[in-house]
């Protein structure tokens, strides 16, 4: 088998496939990429870490048939180092030869027979969604999912596909992000799945880069598949019971303060520089004023006053700066509404509607 492809196109595809090449695995073949002939004008590049897999179409001149597996990171580094122009890859045995201009490499292949068979898009039950609102919802919600593998279900995003909307929920037990977005869909009946955060974030990147305005979705045998442009992403689903997030949302709040999003974001980012070593960012509301402050012993302190439409008894509440900033950034309107009950109860960040809700646990203040 022999394929010829411009360096820039080949490198772009290899860099994408590299995202799902296993870096630590007891199966050496998972460190490789499979390159397979797919006709006279194209080849297929596949990679997987057994959690997430990618299958990409590579426009290339192809002669012969077959498939071979080469170490993914090494191949990517080799192609990146080559001069601009055509790259020829040829294999006929246990090595792949890569040639570009005067440069020539021979790389040992991995056993193609050991490479896992990747999931296929099912023939039935596949539906289509508008790409832009799907990506937007992922970018808003996925950041709130947990990184702690001891509670696997919290490392995923709960996704509810409806006939005219998609709803996503994520939580790491310190914050909760919920967003429902209207989206044109060909779904026949509602589906609910828990998808790993990393898979959703990779989907957002791929869908944005594909240039396609649609994403096809299929769910089968514990796997979910997304086709964006000519790239097929498949991911395992997380089994388990996602927390009943509705029970976490308070029914009533004592205060609702309307704030300018950009101004608040700037103040939080600026004063938050002094909230180091897990020190909280303090928000003190008094008549007509918000005082944002932070203090870290041995580092320093900062404070800033912002005029706000607040009336009533003074209240001070503390938040994790990063979590607070994430919530503010996720609001897509010019105004942010902060709802609070007391210094020891969660606060809620939202826009003018309830399409997006961001619940954030307070940090207990001392001194």
pLDDT digits (tens, 9 = 90+) for 120-143: 999 888 999 999 999 999 999 999
Question: 293-304: per-residue pLDDT in tens?
Answer: 999 999 999 999
Q: What is the pLDDT of residue 189?
A: 85
**Shared domain check, 299 and 211:** no
Q: Give the CATH number of the domain where residue 236 resides.
A: 3.10.150.10
Confidence of residue 25 (pLDDT cuts 50, 70, 90): confident
Is 174 domain-assigned?
no
Last residue of a domain, one of 191, 209, 243: 243
Does 289 score more than 90 pLDDT? Answer: yes
Q: Is residue 173 part of a domain?
A: no
pLDDT tens-digit map of 303-322? 999 999 999 899 999 999 99
Residue 119 included in any domain:
no
Last residue of a domain, one of 76, 92, 114: 114
Residue 278 tokens read as 């897990």
Predicted confidence at residue 279, as pLDDT, reads: 95
pLDDT at 39: 79
Q: Which of 147, 141, 118 is nearest to 54 (CA)?
A: 118
Q: Is position 365 within any domain?
A: no
151: in domain: yes
What pLDDT is stored for residue 9 in this prediction? Answer: 96
Q: State whether 255 and 239 are in the same domain.
A: no
Confidence of residue 79 (pLDDT cuts 50, 70, 90): very high
In a domain, 176, yes or no: no
Same domain, yes or no, for 52 and 68?
yes
**Domains held by the chain: number:** 3
Pairing outcome for strands 191-196 and 223-228: unpaired
Residues 85 and 44 in one domain: yes
Would you give the DSSP letter of residue 351? -
The pLDDT of residue 61: 94
pLDDT number for residue 40: 79
In a shared domain, residues 52 and 146: no
Tell whether 121 is covered by a domain: no
Q: Are residues 253 and 355 in the same domain?
A: yes
CB-hemisphere CA count at 13 Å for 46? Answer: 20
Residue 161's beta-bridge partner residues?
A: 166, 191
Asked if residue 101 and residue 45 are part of one domain, the reply reads yes
Same domain, 14 and 74: yes
Report if residue 309 sits inside a domain.
Answer: yes
End-to-end CA distance of the chain: 72
Q: Are 52 and 80 in contact (CB under 8 A)?
A: no
**Residue partners of 183: CB distance under 8 A and separation at least 6:** 129, 130, 133, 134, 164, 165, 166
Residues 25 and 78 in one domain: yes
Domain coverage including residue 193: 127-167+183-243
Q: Which of 220, 243, 266 is the last residue of a domain?
A: 243
Residues 6+ apart with CB under 8 A from 226: 203, 206, 207, 215, 216, 217, 232, 233, 234
Q: Determine the pLDDT at residue 268.
A: 98
Statement: residue 367 has pLDDT above 80: no
**Same domain for 30 and 93?**
yes
Q: Which SS3 state, helix, strand or coil, does residue 207 take?
A: helix
Angle between helices 72-81 and 7-17 (to 10 degrees): 150
Q: What percentage of the chain reaches a pLDDT higher than 70?
A: 100
Question: Same structural domain for residues 131 and 211?
Answer: yes
One domain, residues 55 and 74: yes
């Amino acid at each position: 088998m022999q394929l010829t492809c411009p360096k820039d196109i080949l490198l772009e595809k290899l860099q994408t496939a590299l995202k799902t090449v296993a870096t630590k695995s007891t199966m050496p073949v998972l460190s490789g990429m499979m390159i397979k002939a797919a006709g006279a004008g194209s080849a297929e590049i596949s990679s997987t870490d057994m959690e997430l897999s990618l299958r990409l179409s590579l426009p290339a001149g192809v002669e012969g048939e077959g498939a071979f597996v080469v170490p993914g990171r090494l191949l990517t580094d080799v192609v990146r180092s080559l001069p601009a122009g055509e790259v020829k890859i040829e294999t006929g045995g246990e090595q792949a030869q890569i040639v570009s201009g005067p440069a020539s490499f021979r790389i040992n292949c991995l056993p193609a027979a050991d490479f896992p068979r990747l999931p296929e898009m099912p023939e039935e039950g596949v539906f289509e969604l508008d790409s832009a609102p799907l990506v937007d919802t992922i970018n808003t919600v996925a950041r709130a999912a947990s990184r702690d593998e001891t509670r696997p279900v919290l490392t995923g995003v709960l996704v509810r596909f409806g006939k005219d909307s998609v709803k996503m929920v994520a939580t790491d037990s310190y914050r909760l992000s919920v967003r429902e977005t209207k989206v044109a869909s060909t779904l026949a009946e509602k589906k609910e799945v828990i998808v790993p955060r990393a898979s959703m974030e990779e989907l957002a990147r791929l869908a944005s880069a594909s240039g396609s305005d649609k994403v096809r979705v299929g769910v089968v045998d514990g796997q979910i598949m997304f086709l964006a442009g000519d790239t097929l992403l498949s991911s395992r689903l997380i089994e388990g019971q996602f927390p009943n997030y509705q029970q976490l949302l308070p029914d009533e709040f004592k205060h609702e303060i309307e704030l300018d999003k950009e101004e608040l974001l700037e103040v939080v980012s600026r004063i938050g520089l002094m909230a180091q070593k897990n020190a909280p960012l303090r928000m003190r509301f008094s008549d007509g004023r918000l005082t944002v402050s932070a203090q870290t012993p041995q580092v320093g302190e900062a404070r800033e006053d912002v005029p706000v439409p607040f009336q009533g008894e003074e209240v001070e509440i503390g938040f994790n700066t990063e979590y607070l900033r994430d919530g503010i950034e996720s609001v897509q309107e010019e105004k942010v509404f902060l709802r609070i009950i007391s210094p020891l109860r969660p606060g809620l960040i939202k826009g003018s509607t309830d399409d997006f809700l961001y619940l954030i646990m307070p940090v207990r203040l001392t001194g």
